[in-house]
Structure 1
Amino acid sequence: MTTVSASDELAQAAFTFLQEQLEDAQRACITSSFQAEDVAVVHMARQIRPEIPVLFLETGYHFPETLTYRDRIAAEWNLNLVNVEPEITVAEQESKFGILNQTAPDRCCGLRKVEPLFRALGGYTTWVTGLRREQSKTRANLQPREFFTLPTGHILAKLSPLAEWTTRDVWRYAEQNNIPLLPLYDKGYTSIGCAPCTSLPFDPEDARSGRWSGRKVECGIHLQAK
């Protein structure tokens, strides 16, 4: 029995889509930053596949609140949490290259997010995300089901069941299903990543305007979809 509110047609449609897509998926995973939309998708996916691996990018730069919240949700929901780590530690990276999140944020994201995730995704055929079109212009053409090609040539089915959702839809779903959200939202953050590259939004019309001091809007992962 699903706990998705049947009175919400949007939520029911997303759940049904995900259920149909995961039914025959051989090796599926879901990535989660433990922001609101990601937690909503995890909430749906675990009802369909309770043991689905939940991949979290452990960059070494996260807010303490994010890690505490991750551990809380993972424990309460009995998630199959997989912490995906870079090949080198923060200390090793800073010793070798300096503070890349200040001098070369693209390279920092590449080392600590993009490359580790792409290595991890090589073991799967289906990838579930919490991406939404509303989040940024770079995601405006997002489709619920796309194909994603890794640098190795490995192709995955990439699922974004919340593609059409607004922020209000996400928060409504959380409220209807009694899902606690990351406490950083209460401090005014609207898009949350690594602490050094996340600030309060400076544009009230752009939830991601607080990311990377406005220098970019993507870490690089989702710009390579095919």
Structure 2
Amino acid sequence: MLKGGSKLLTYATWNEKLPDFNHENPTKGALDVLEWAYGTYGEDLVYACSFGIEGSVLVDLVSQVKPDAQIVFLDTNLHFQETYDVIEAAKKRYPSLRIKLKTPALTLEEQAKKHSDGLWNVDSNLCCTIRKVIPLEEELKGVKAWLSGLRKEQSAARSNTDFVNRDERFKSIKVCPLIHWTWKDIWRYAHKHDLPYNKLHDNGYPSIGCAPCTQAAINADDLRSGRWSGTEKLECGLHETT
């Protein structure tokens, strides 16, 4: 139970009577949302971080609210070296944060034998399910809520994201503190606080996923246009129901 006797907001108790957060402040509501989320869920809140630039910003904000927060990176074993570099930089800057690299049950060699060599080229949805979705399901099992760095501006599919969401995919509460931040807001904060960030951002990669399925953006107005380029795929499966 929460203060005042109100029921803890979970997937099962969702009633859409959500907290009212002010997004017209210096962090556009992000710190208020994080303080509420960690105050409400404590250890039952996990941050699934991709360690792109939004991740660098959100990690910094999280460290201000809960210095020993649980952070999980879905390590598909297919990420760019630059992504692993920024994770190491974050570990050094925030030594109290519990940053975990979660790997899939199948190694790349086992996946190739069971399905196909270079499965991402044959069935990218299945590859994402094996290497991202199932691992996150495992991490969220038994916890009530998770954090994500989604922003409304990122894509049409994400434009309706709220601070607090009922996540049908993972049967959980998904908290998104950065929904009102713009691309300029993100970079302004990162530069102001000299945050470690993925150097691929300097080379035309605004959105960074696995190396085989990510290239530099082909459309300056679409930050995710370098993901699964040449296909109709838009998401890896973690956020499709948002």
**Letter of the structure 1 residue corresponding to residue 85 of structure 2:** T
TM-score (norm 2): 0.84
The question of whether the paired residues in 1 share the 8 Å contact of 2:102 and 2:135 is answered with yes
- Partner in structure 2 of residue 23 of structure 1: 39
Matching of residue 66 in structure 1 with residue 65 in structure 2: no
Q: Which structure 2 segments of 5+ residues have no match? A: 1-23
- Partner in structure 2 of residue 95 of structure 1: 113
1:223 deviates by 1.1
Of residues 159, 182, 190, the one that matches 1:174 is 190
- Partner in structure 2 of residue 121 of structure 1: 140
- Partner in structure 2 of residue 130 of structure 1: 149
1:180 deviates by 2.4
TM-score (norm 1): 0.90
Larger helix share, 1 or 2 = 1
- Partner in structure 1 of residue 125 of structure 2: 106
**Structure 1 ranges of 4+ moved more than 6 A:** none
Of residues 31, 36, 54, the one that matches 1:37 is 54
SS of equivalent residue, structure 1 residue 25: helix
Query: Can you list the C-alpha shifts for 1:161-214, whole angstroms capped at 9, x where unaligned?
Result: 111111111011112222121111111111100000000111111010000114
The question of whether the paired residues in 2 share the 8 Å contact of 1:55 and 1:84 is answered with yes
The question of whether the paired residues in 2 share the 8 Å contact of 1:118 and 1:150 is answered with no
1:131 deviates by 0.5
1:10 deviates by 3.6
How many angstroms apart in 1 are the aligned matches of 2:99 and 2:234?
26
Q: How does 1:142-221 map to 2 (within 5 A)?
A: 142-150=161-169, 155-215=171-231, 216-221=233-238
1:12 deviates by 5.8
Q: What RMSD over aligned residues (CA atoms) do the two structures have, in Å?
A: 1.6
1:156 deviates by 2.2
How many angstroms apart in 1 are the aligned matches of 2:26 and 2:130?
37
* Residues 21-30 or 183-192, more deviating: 21-30
- Partner in structure 1 of residue 100 of structure 2: 82
Identity of aligned residues (%): 35
How many angstroms apart in 1 are the aligned matches of 2:37 and 2:70?
16
**Letter of the structure 1 residue corresponding to residue 129 of structure 2:** G
